[in-house]
Structure 1
Amino acid sequence: MVRLTRAQQQERTRAAVLAAARAEFGERGYADAKVDRIAERAELTRGAVYSNFPSKRALYLAVLVGSIEHADAPAGSIEHADDPKTPSPSGLAEAMGAFARSWLERLPLAGDTPADGSLRLRSLAGVFDDEPGRTALAQVTRLESLLLALALESRPPHHTRCVRLAELVLTLLNGAGHLADTAPGFADPFDVARACEHLAGLDLADTWDPPHLPFVAPAQSVQERWEPPAELPDQITGRRVGFGADGVLVVLGAGRLEAAEEAVRAARPGDRITVAVVTGDPAEIGRLVRLRVGDLTGCLRRVFEPEARPGFRLVLDGHATLASAVGLPDIGDATEAAVRVQAGEIVARARGRGAAHAVATATSPDGAGT
């Protein structure tokens, strides 16, 4: 008889809990699912479930994250953009339509039960009804808009900023998803995709001029040894990345994700920008960010060629290893800090609102780049 190690046993328990939870949520939906029934399905105690997942919400989010990280591409979907047989969209309207079609593949199929349809949609209706959750959801939606906008900005005609356009596309798609969840069959997904294409013709007068940036204090010039932490997965490319090279490292709490654009827009040519997301609640808020970012970047990877995807790295610093490396003694949802690494040293740092912008624009005393 083969004896399992403690880690193997824990992994087996987690897998059993997730399988049972997927069945429970698929039959009863999030609101009516019960942790006691999940434990019974898994042939475990209630305590065993809670030792792996601290709440029903954390368990539901884990099920949704698993659905995007382990599922194969649906039949008939747009193939991976790296495949030479599938050309990347050439224009802005075509790109918006292709992204919409990829996103809309999650809509429930005929014959899906309401509960199973909600799982397929990765619906969060009724899941985050508290203020911290709603704030994090609003911020991660802003991050999604930035990721989509940067990909759209690579399409002709040249656009200096497409964030407002991306916000409009995501508003339309999420509205279609909500209707599919509450009024199945109401909207035709092909009409929704065509509507997204037509949005490309709107002039939204999108500019980048946050009023607080002129008042941000300059970054502090320092000379500190840089000890890079272990590699983490880049949520945009799906590959593990290291932190030993020169560049700007930005650490953002779940309540400050919109500041990612401040670093991206201020970056100098050739700068390597890394945004690390931290939270004091990795089981729920951390999984929310992982779910929504992974969902959207999965669509981007299927539509856009690698060079057209967002040009910065995005990592989820669940154990705060990168945050510790840049010298943050504590983290929270309002965390915003940044450092610039050059030749194995931290040469500039800032903390607080505007830190990402301050470090990305930091200059040496003679006026040259740091």
Structure 2
Amino acid sequence: MVRLTRAQQQARTRAAVLAAAREEFVEHGYAAAKVDRIAERTDLTRGAVYSNFPSKRALYLAVLVDLVENAPPAAPSPTASLPGALGAFARTWLERLPLVDDPAAGGRLQLRSLVGVVDDEPGRAVLAQLARLEALLLALGLESCEPDPRAPRRVRLAELVLTMLNGSGLMAELAPGFGDPFDRALACEHLAGLAGERGLGDTWDPPYLTFVGLAERCREPWDPPTGLLDHLTGSPADLGADGLVVALGARRLSAAEEAVRSARPGEQVTVAVVTADPAETGSLVRLRVSDLTACLRRVFPPEAWGHVRLIVSDGAVAAAALGVNGYDDQTEAAVRVRDGMVVARSQGRGAAYAAATGESAHDPRGAGA
């Protein structure tokens, strides 16, 4: 008889709870699901379920993360044109729409529905920040389709596409069978024409950057953490390159664009997401990021992300490397690395911009460290 270690037993119990919870959510939906029934399905006590997942919401989000991250990989089909990328991304995203005859509860799970799940103000604030991050990630892929470095920013275009697709998901939940997914994919493709040469007037020039204070200039050895996953490419993230490493709380994810747009040419940007609530907020972030990046990797080649890296599951490890140990959902901290040394560090609003430029926008001293 093979004896399981405690860690192996915990992993087996967690897997059994996830499998039972998925059955429960498919049969009853989130609102009507009962933790007691999930415990009965696994011959566990209610307390044993809660020892692995602190709430029904945490359990539901964990089921969705497991569904997304363990889905069979699909073959990528990169496309070079902006309209082609928009259409391909939309078709990939719309594959989640359930068929008309699918059970309603199971269809909501397939849709990654969060209706009635994230219904509190902190959760809604995190979702708003996630929407900004998602738009940035899609925009970076779209911008890679245009080799001219002077091409417009495509964040507003990405926002339009994601709004249409998320609306399609909501309609599929409320009115199954309404509308044709192929029409919606074609409409997303044609949004490239709406962007036009002016790019919807899309620019990045936040007025608050004028008031960002100076970064702390320093010269400290940089000991980059290893073994972290880059969610954009699905490959290990190398944090040893020159550039920015930024830790962002779940309610400050919009600041990721600060890091991306402020970085110096050729320097890497690594964004690590941190949260003090890994079971719920952390799972919500992981779900949305994993879901989006799975679609992006089928449409855009790895080089589309160029110098950008995104760490979600192990953000705390990256934050600790920055010297940030007491973090929460409002955290912003950044360091700039050059030649294996930390040459600038900053915390608070505008940290990424301060560390990238080495100075505030109105500082007359010229380029920073």
TM class, shorter-length = over 0.9
Distance across 2 between alignment mates of 1:19 and 1:197: 38
After superposition, the Cα gap between the structure-2 partners of 1:232 and 1:33, relative to the gap in structure 1 and judged at 3 Å, is same
State the distance in 2 between where 1:101 and 1:254 align.
29
Task: Give the match for residue 241 of structure 1.
Answer: 237
Note the C-alpha offset of 1:311.
3.7
- Counterpart in the other structure of 1:150: 140
What letter is aligned with 1:266?
Answer: S
AA at the equivalent of 2:11: E
* Structure-2-length-normalised TM-score: 0.93
- Tell me whether 1:351 sits opposite 2:343 in the alignment: no
Alignment partner, residue 92 of structure 1: 82
Partner of 2:263: 267
Instruction: Give the 3 Å change call, closer, same or farther, for CA 197–157 of structure 1 in structure 2.
Output: farther
Supply the AA of the counterpart residue of 2:88. A
**Deviation (angstroms), 1:291:** 0.7
Distance 2:91 2:313 in 1: 31
Tell me the CA shift for residue 71 of structure 1: 1.1
Q: 2: CA distance between counterparts of 1:319 and 1:173?
A: 28
Most deviating of 12-21 and 303-312: 303-312
How much does 1:32 deviate? 0.6
In structure 1, the partner of 2:97 is 107
Which of 176, 185, 189 pairs up with 1:184?
A: 176
Match of 1:171 among 153, 163, 178: 163
Percent identical: 66
| Alignment match, 1:19 | 19
Matched, 1:141 2:164: no
Counterpart CA distance in 2 for 1:299 and 1:330 is 33
CA shift, 1:317, in A, is 5.2
Question: 1: distance between equivalents of 2:315 and 2:185?
Answer: 39
Output the amino acid matched with 1:54: P
Tell me how far 1:29 sits from its aligned partner. Answer: 0.4
**Structure 2: runs of 5+ lacking an equivalent:** none
Q: Secondary structure at the match of 1:196?
A: helix
Offset at residue 156 of structure 1 (A): 3.7
Structure 2 partner of 1:335: 331
User: Pairwise CA RMSD of aligned residues?
Assistant: 1.8
Alignment match, 2:50? 50
Equivalences, count? 360
Are 2:215 and 1:219 equivalent residues in the alignment?
Answer: yes
Runs of at least 5 residues in structure 1 that lack an aligned partner in the other structure = 82-87
**Secondary structure of 1:314's match?**
strand
Q: Which residue of 2 aligns with 1:84?
A: none
Residue 64 of structure 2 is aligned to residue 64 of structure 1: yes
Higher mean C-alpha displacement, 301-310 vs 333-342: 301-310
1:38 — aligned with what? Answer: 38
SS of 2:207 mapped into structure 1? coil
State the 1:366 CA deviation.
7.7
Q: 1:324 to 1:157 in 2, by over 3 A?
A: closer
Instruction: Find the aligned partners of 1:302 and 1:114 in 2 and give their Cα distance.
Output: 28
Contact 2:249 2:275 in 1 (8 A): yes
Which SS does the other structure have where 2:65 is aligned?
A: helix
Counterparts of 1:15 and 1:265, CA distance in 2: 41
Aligned partners of 1:98 and 1:223: how far apart in 2?
Answer: 46
CA distance in 1, matches of 2:67, 2:43: 23
Contact 1:348 1:359 in 2 (8 A): yes
Q: In the alignment, which of 276, 286, 289 is matched to residue 290 of structure 1?
A: 286
Matched AA of 1:126 = G
Moved more, 311-320 or 26-35: 311-320
Return the offset for 1:305: 1.7
Residue 212 (structure 1) shift: 0.3
Contact 1:97-1:197 at 8 Å conserved across structures: yes
Check conservation: 2:76, 2:299, Cα contact below 8 A: yes
Which amino acid in 2 is paired with 1:208? Answer: W
Q: Aligned equivalents of 2:315 and 2:157: distance in 1?
A: 34
The whole-number CA distance in structure 2 between the counterparts of 1:354 and 1:365 is: 18
Task: Report what 1:305 is aligned to.
Answer: 301
Distance 2:10 2:118 in 1: 28
| Distance in 2 between residues matched to 1:138 and 1:67, nearest whole Å | 23
Letter in 2 for 1:212: Y
SS at match of 1:155: coil
Distance 1:292 1:253 in 2: 15
Contact 1:151 1:310 in 2 (8 A): no
SS for the counterpart of 1:263 is: helix
